[in-house]
Structure 1
Amino acid sequence: MASRLFTNLTTAGLGLALVGGVVNSALYNVDGGYRAVIFDRFTGVKPNVVGEGTHFLIPWIQKPIIFDIRSRPRSVAVTTGSKDLQNVNITLRILFRPITENLPRMYTSLGVDYDERVLPSITNEVLKAVVAQFDAGELITQREVVSQRVSEELTERASQFGLILDDISLTHLTFGREFTAAVELKQVAQQEAEKARFLVEKAEQQKRATVISAEGDTQAASLLAKAFGESGDALVELRRIEAAEDIATLLSRSRNVSYLPSGQNVLLNLPQV
């Protein structure tokens, strides 16, 4: 009887374990920021998209395929040619996410790695088409226009595959070695030209200053000659004043100086000739 009881308990335990396994295999979770598409072995991919939470399915017949619907970054590097046949290296950074309602169709046509199949090809196509409309100089000076046009055309192209592009930005733009060297030589030539122009302007300013100074000296000499012509003693008086200024300057710098009253200024009371 004990053996029969043990057998019944073992059978009941196995039954419970089997039921628990079936129940566990019939449940699946969809985390936040994710969606699920159900694949049925008999009917194929179901058109409904399963949201977040815990859900039931038919074990061994149905299988959930989980998709990340959050925005994800991706960088795509493209080498193309400009309007003036210059090689251009461009790197585009894209923030993308799938359109939730289109997940069943995307899984059927593209698979889970839809971004690997779509983004590189359409980015390459759009960048080559847009960059070919600008020459190398315009790609630098009109970068915002180029970025805007790429964003518009790439967004429209991605929507055909069920993708939403939240942000598109040009993070890297360089040219070939020949063009870069030519730009550097042009910059050096411009700097040399600016330096030469500065030297010419400086020489012109110095020339004008010399001319103005000479004109001033000429005018001063003319005024002195006129003043001396009107008064014969003017030159002697000027020399006396200059001598007095020099003597006063020397005495002011000396520590051992004796000052006389103003009425006893013997230095300036020179005999009149």
Structure 2
Amino acid sequence: MANFVKLANSLARIGVGLALGGAVVNSALYNVDGGHRAVIFDRISGVSQKVRGEGTHFLIPLVQTPYIFDVRSRPTNVPVVTGSKDLQNVSITLRILFRPQSSSLPNIFVNLGVDYDEKVLPSITREVLTAVVAQFDASELITQREMVSQRVNEELTERANQFGVILDDISLTHLTFGQEFTSAVEQKQVAQQEAERARYLVEKAEQVKQAAVISAEGDSMGAKLIASALSQAGEGLIELRKVEAAEDIASQLSKSRNVVYLPSGQQTLLALPS
């Protein structure tokens, strides 16, 4: 019986040892998922400059702590309200795809922390947009939007690289102006439409006037030609026109029913006595 108790105690101690050993081994392992990187903080030597990649890694429990960073591209929207060259309020929103440089993760962790994007992107975006927008008038921001976007892209990319952040894409998704400028633009458009309508009415009146002049000139020329013909042909032309008119009337009457036309002084058969 005593031997059995000793054996049970030995097995219990072994089980406890194995459990403790398993816990120690488990605490000495950490995983880095796909699209992530790890930075190790050592309580003795500080932040390690070696960046751990994907997979399972060892560390010293209670001495080393892993900090995981997502190195995949992530989107964020940064709204900014600033002023244009002509002192108009401009509301702009940028959509940014960003990711950290893997080799810069230790410096990012030391200087900015895990939430580096919330500290860096809003501030540098406001800085760059304020500088770029101030170079353009409000109307130029609309007509030269591609140029504005290109300048913002170049300057913001360069500025982010100083913090170890890569910008994969920058899109200007929202651009609006103050109420006063919007009302002025609408009034200008209405005035332009009214001016176009007035110009159309003036051109139409001018065309009608020219048509009337041309028609009058044609009538005058026709009258002159008729007068010239009459002066040259005498009464013969008039008699010719009478004959042509009589022939036309006779032709029309001959096609009508119950109409008989005879020279004056003659009677129709209907008028003879039966």
Q: Deviations over 1:122-169 (max 9, x none)?
A: 111111111111111111111122111111111111111111111112
Aligned pair count? 260
1:18-97 counterparts in 2 under 5 A? 18-97=20-99
Matched, 1:197 2:199: yes
Q: Deviations over 1:102-136 (max 9, x none)?
A: 10111011000001001111111111111111111
Counterpart of 1:118, as a letter, is V
How many angstroms apart in 2 are the aligned matches of 1:239 and 1:36? 115
Deviation at 1:242, TM superposition (A): 6.2
Residue 188 (structure 2) aligns with: 186
Residue 165 (structure 2) aligns with: 163
Counterpart of 1:33, as a letter, is G
- Greater shift in the superposed pair: 120-129 or 215-224: 215-224
Matched, 1:146 2:141: no
Deviation at 1:5, TM superposition (A): 2.9
SS of 1:134's partner is coil
Deviation at 1:246, TM superposition (A): 8.3
Deviation at 1:239, TM superposition (A): 5.7
**Gaps spanning 5+ residues in structure 2: where?**
265-274
Residue 112 (structure 2) aligns with: 110
Q: Cα–Cα, structure 1 residues 240 and 72, in superposed 2: closer, same or farther, change >3 Å?
A: farther
Q: Deviations over 1:156-201 (max 9, x none)?
A: 1111111111111211111111111111111111110011001100
Q: Cα–Cα, structure 1 residues 22 and 225, in superposed 2: closer, same or farther, change >3 Å?
A: same
**Gaps spanning 5+ residues in structure 1: where?**
257-265
Residue 172 (structure 1) aligns with: 174
How many angstroms apart in 1 are the aligned matches of 2:51 and 2:239? 114
Residue 221 (structure 1) aligns with: 223
Residue 139 (structure 2) aligns with: 137
Counterpart of 1:133, as a letter, is Q
Fraction of identical pairs, as percent: 66
Q: Deviations over 1:66-98 (max 9, x none)?
A: 101111111111111111111111111111111
- For the pair shown, which has the larger CA radius of gyration, 1 or 2? 2
SS of 1:32's partner is coil
SS of 1:14's partner is helix
Q: Deviations over 1:218-252 (max 9, x none)?
A: 22222222223333243454465567668879999
1:186-265 counterparts in 2 under 5 A? 186-231=188-233, 232-238=235-241, 241=244
Q: Cα–Cα, structure 1 residues 98 and 213, in superposed 2: closer, same or farther, change >3 Å?
A: same
